[in-house]
């Protein structure tokens, strides 16, 4: 794969995490990119804002979770932010503030799987550790013309074995792993791959690249409905602290469980993982003003600094801008 490394060194795109060997900066980028595309992470300033506020393990470990979630707001999959903070505290408390350089020790950190461990080990420390993400799985499946489902046990095992063989055969694991990812992002794309421009086309066996990789399980999209209320007082807006698995620690408009829904203020849609959500926002019920401990009137001046998922942030901003409220209590 010398041709691939040479191609990468000439054509690599410039990203801030490629200019550093700091394991913290690299780790943050890898965690953000697990579920979010590069243009979003960079173009909308998520990476730069995070690094400005939490430039190292120490600052992240010492932060309040509410602030961590607020800085992460808009990226979704908030468990990633919590796991990052949990990892930072582990590094500060059990590794004297120094990120481990051993692959096994990296893999033992909270929230770190084989891909992230391999990425930090190779990108930060130059260790010959393989990585397999969606891009690399696509590249390797096509090079070997392998239709084994990549989400099967056999398929995953074969991908990691091939990636390991490649990284052990190079003098520059950092460049090779980066090059494989870059190739999948720019040339060996899911549709309309640029095969004529591929630096390793002479090694590629497939004659039908768009048929690969193969996945055995297609995740079905489930439609669900959420009904919430919007209650604005003279002091602020009633919000509910989420306690479920997906968005624990974030605030939202309070859930409504009435059999006869009150008048609708608005309806919108959003998607999260495998769910397509229809969100109905209603006027509040008649209420005695006594709310559960998870509910709180958030002052108007604190609404923007309160951590909230992006769909609820959009809804709240729209409702606050309407100006025709008859809901003040």
Q: Is residue 245 packed enough to be buried (19+ CB in 10 Å), middle (13-18) or exposed (0-12)?
A: exposed
Q: What is the Cα 315 distance to its own chain's centre?
A: 22
- 171 C-beta neighbours (distance < 10 Å), count: 10
Q: Which domains does the chain have, with CATH numbers?
A: 2-211 (1.10.340.30), 222-322 (3.90.79.10)
b/e per residue 125-146 (b: at least 16 CB within 10 A): bebbbbbbbebbbbbbbbbbeb
pLDDT at position 328 is 37
Q: What is the pTM of this model?
A: 0.85
66 catalytic residue (yes or no): no
Q: What are phi and psi of 99, to 5 degrees?
A: -70, 130
pLDDT at position 258 is 64
pLDDT at position 288 is 62
Give me the sheet containing 295-299, strands edge to edge. Answer: 251-252, 236-241, 295-299
Going residue by residue through the chain (329 aa), what tens digit of pLDDT does each one get? 899 999 999 999 999 999 999 999 999 999 999 989 999 999 999 999 999 999 999 999 999 999 999 999 999 999 999 999 999 999 999 999 999 999 999 999 999 999 999 999 999 999 999 999 999 999 999 999 999 999 999 999 999 999 999 999 999 999 999 999 999 999 999 999 999 999 999 999 999 999 999 998 777 899 999 999 999 999 999 999 998 767 788 999 999 876 677 899 999 999 988 899 999 999 987 776 788 999 999 999 999 999 999 999 999 999 999 864 443 33
Which of the following is catalytic: 3, 30, 66, 242?
30
Q: Quick one: which of 101, 171, 182 has its CA closest to 136?
A: 182
What is the chain's length? 329
């Amino acid at each position: 794969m010398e041709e691939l490394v040479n191609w990468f060194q000439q054509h690599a795109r410039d990203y801030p995490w490629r200019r550093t060997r700091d394991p913290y900066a690299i780790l943050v980028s890898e965690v953000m990119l697990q579920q979010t595309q590069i243009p979003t992470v960079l173009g909308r300033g998520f990476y730069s804002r995070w690094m400005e506020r939490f430039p190292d393990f120490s600052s992240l470990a010492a932060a309040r979770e509410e602030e961590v979630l607020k800085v992460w707001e808009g990226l979704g999959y908030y468990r990633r932010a919590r796991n990052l903070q949990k990892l930072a505290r582990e590094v500060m408390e059990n590794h004297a503030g120094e990120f481990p350089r051993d692959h096994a020790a990296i893999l033992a950190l909270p929230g770190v799987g084989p891909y992230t461990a391999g990425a930090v080990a190779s990108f930060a420390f130059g260790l010959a550790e393989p990585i397999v993400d969606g891009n690399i799985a696509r590249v390797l499946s096509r090079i070997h013309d392998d239709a084994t489902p990549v989400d099967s046990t056999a398929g995953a095992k074969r991908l990691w074995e091939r990636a390991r063989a490649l990284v052990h055969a190079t003098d520059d694991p950092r460049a090779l792993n980066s090059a494989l990812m870059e190739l999948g992002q720019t040339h060996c794309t899911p549709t309309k791959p640029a095969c004529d421009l591929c630096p390793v086309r002479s090694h590629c066996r497939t004659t039908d690249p768009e048929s690969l990789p193969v996945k055995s399980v297609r995740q079905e999209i489930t439609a669900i409905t959420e009904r919430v209320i919007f209650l604005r007082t003279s002091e602020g807006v009633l919000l509910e602290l989420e306690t479920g698995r997906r968005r624990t620690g974030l605030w939202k408009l309070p859930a409504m469980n009435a059999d006869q829904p009150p008048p609708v203020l608005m309806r919108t849609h959003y998607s999260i993982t495998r769910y397509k959500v229809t969100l109905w926002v209603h006027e509040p019920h008649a209420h005695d003003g006594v709310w559960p401990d998870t509910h709180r009137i958030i002052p108007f001046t604190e609404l923007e600094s309160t951590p909230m998922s992006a769909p609820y942030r959009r809804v709240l901003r729209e409702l606050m801008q309407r100006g025709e409220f008859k809901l003040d209590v």
